[in-house]
Structure 1
Amino acid sequence: MVSSRTSQPNSWLPKGPALLFAPADRPERFAKAADRSDMVILDLEDGCRAENRAEARKNVQHADLDPERTIVRINAVDSPDFAEDLAAVVDSPYRTVMVPKVECGFSLGDANSNDRPLPADFRVIALIETPRGVVNLPEIAADPQVVALFWGAEDLTAALGGTSSRYSADEVPTPGGGPSGHPGGYREVPRLTRALVLTHAAAAGIVALDSIHADTTDTKGASAEAIDAAASGFTATVSIHPGLVPVIREAYAPTEEQATWARRVIEGAAKNTGAFALDGQMIDAPLLRQAEIIAARIR
């Protein structure tokens, strides 16, 4: 399936580069998580104890948060909790949902089709964390309700029959071994999945969100992964701990040198209808697009 959105990017963008999970059964953390991040993800799935989900759904409904800066992660479509999660979100002000373990498009119909499992006004962040989800990325990214792709290494590794998503220090004696740039980087299949999520999101004109750094004490590794994510084209990185928010924001923030370059490129493009030279560098459409991305991150 070819997306009809490839020529025009989807209009939804996260409010900043640092998204933060908050367990939906811990309402006392909601406001703090929202204050310390660019968007908060109220988690009814893995971050919420199963026995607490009924109360957690009420917490979501009663949460006094900005709907434009709030995402709700519900349980998978084939989960017994899905219907109750969905009903709770429908009865809340929140309309951006993260759906885990997405393995196909939600319907062959359009966004208003009656056979779709989610209301037409819901924006969907599709979480890719199973082999079937990886294989069906083109269909998922093309789905008219999907506004972003996210991916998860741990569930994917378990579904593959693996036991570890990252190299250990003993396996990688020298720096390298994955996007983190040091021992502890992703193994090959998670790295491939990360690249495919970014590529298919870009091809469909939607947002790609990079996965969490599970070791919340490893600020160096989290910083390296976020720097790589920003440079590669991810729009934001998701975290499970507020302590990693500052390094994520710093990673996505352009340097003064980058900001100056971007400003000069954009100014030069306004005066030229085609390629032009800037300090001995030929500036064409791809470099102009990079300058525009840097400028957007400054804003």
Structure 2
Amino acid sequence: MPSTDSSTTAVLPFTMGPALLFCPADRPERFGKASERSDAVILDLEDAVAPADKKGAREAILEQAGSAEQGTGGLEPSRTIVRVNPVGTQEFELDLEALARTPYRTVMLAKAESAEQLRSLEGYQVIALCETAAGIVNAASIAAEPNVVGLMWGAEDLLASLGGLSSRNDDGGYRAVALHSRSAVLLAAKAAGKEAIDSVYVNIPDLEGLSAESRDAVSSGFGAKACIHPNQVAVVREAYAPTDEAVAQATELLEAAAAAGTGVFQFKGKMIDGPILKHAEATLRRARH
């Protein structure tokens, strides 16, 4: 298996997404389908698995990884994330022991709260899941750690850590503290040059609400959104995929910028500068992806 020595493991930019799908690690019969239906699968050893089933969940991941080595199936390491239990728990140590025997090197750290915790995962590319008050407050220092490739925020665990009742108002929109936390994680991630992943949408039947939230996520700068049900994947992908019209407009604008050869120019009656060109470039990147 690959070494977990940080000196031999290159930290690459996070390119998975836009739709990341959680799958309980104690349900190995779902691994393949979850991977096929999403842009990346998150094998969950934390909240989705009952304490009594965590040992079996680790064994399921090891068995699946062994099948892949023998050429009889398995998940692509480049499209697989393993969510481990929080640092400081016995389950975390057992998770790491199991992971060392697999090819999976992208880890989601549940309840990340400090930069120091990330050093327990040297050799892995880490998505730090900020879902407590301490995690949100320390998001900037967490994002700055070299092995961190992205930050994600968790709404419901966050409100629970605050002693609250729900992250959303009766109309389905986020409460102010949740919106603040969402923005804080996004800003911290981008300031450190890392990716930002939006939280899950727990109202599974409400695909219209998911669509609206996903469109806001991509417009705000989140590079991906996590899903908890396969039916959510297509909605997230659609929100992230630019329309043909948007692609054509972005292409035309960038071609005009190249022809103008100046920092600021006029295009179709509008003044165009650097930020507008960056929006166009982002549109084409999403189209290529």
Q: TM-score, normalised by structure 2?
A: 0.89
Task: Give the match for residue 176 of structure 1.
Answer: none
Give the 5 Å matches for 1:55-204: 55-63=56-64, 64-106=74-116, 116-120=119-123, 122-168=124-170, 183-204=171-192
Whether 1:26 and 2:27 are equivalent positions in the alignment is yes
Query: Secondary structure in 2 aligned to 1:35?
Result: helix
1:248-289 residue CA offsets vs partner (Å, 9 max, x unmatched): 011111122211111112222333242222212222111111
Partner of residue 7, structure 2: none
C-alpha separation between the residues in 1 aligned to 2:205 and 2:212? 14
* Higher fraction of helix: 2
Aligned to 2:67: none
SS of the counterpart of 1:216?
coil
Q: Give the Cα–Cα distance (whole angstroms) in 1 for the partners of residues 48 and 208 of structure 2.
A: 24
Task: Note if contact 2:122-2:147 (Cα within 8 Å) is conserved in structure 1.
Answer: no
Q: For residue 11 of structure 1, report the CA deviation from its aligned partner.
A: 4.5
* Separation (CA, whole Å) in 1 of partners of 2:283 and 2:103: 32
- Percent identity reads 51
Secondary structure at the counterpart of residue 19 of structure 1: strand
Q: Which amino acid aligns with 1:79?
A: T
For 1:20-59, what aligned pairs fall within 5 Å after superposition? 20-59=21-60
DSSP-derived class of the 1:117 partner: helix
Match of 1:234 in 2: 222
Deviates more, 1:72-81 or 1:269-278: 269-278
- The answer on 1:274 being equivalent to 2:277 is no
Alpha-carbon separation, structure 1, partners of 2:144 and 2:203: 33
Contact between 1:149 and 1:201, CA under 8 Å: does it hold in 2? yes
Unaligned runs of 5+ in 2: 1-10, 65-73
Q: Separation in 1 of the partners of 2:136 and 2:21?
A: 24
Question: Which residue does the alignment assign to 1:212?
Answer: 200
Aligned-residue Cα RMSD (Å) equals 1.4
Q: Do the aligned residues in 2 keep the contact of 1:22 with 1:41 (CA within 8 Å)?
A: yes
CA shift, 1:291, in A, is 0.8
> 2:4 is matched with which residue?
none
Corresponding position: 1:263 with 2:235: no
Give the drift of 1:48.
Answer: 1.3
Question: 1:262·1:295 contact (CA, 8 Å) conserved in 2?
Answer: yes
- 1:248 aligns with 236
State the distance in 2 between where 1:204 and 1:245 align.
28
Bigger CA drift: 45-54 or 233-242? 45-54
3-state SS of 2:116 partner: coil
What is the letter of the counterpart of residue 249 of structure 2?
A: W
Match of 2:70 in 1: none
Query: Per-residue CA shift, 1:60-93, capped at 9, x if unaligned?
Result: 1232100000000000111220001011111101
Contact 2:200 2:228 in 1 (8 A): yes
| Counterpart residue type for residue 155 of structure 1 | D
The residue type paired with residue 271 of structure 2 is M
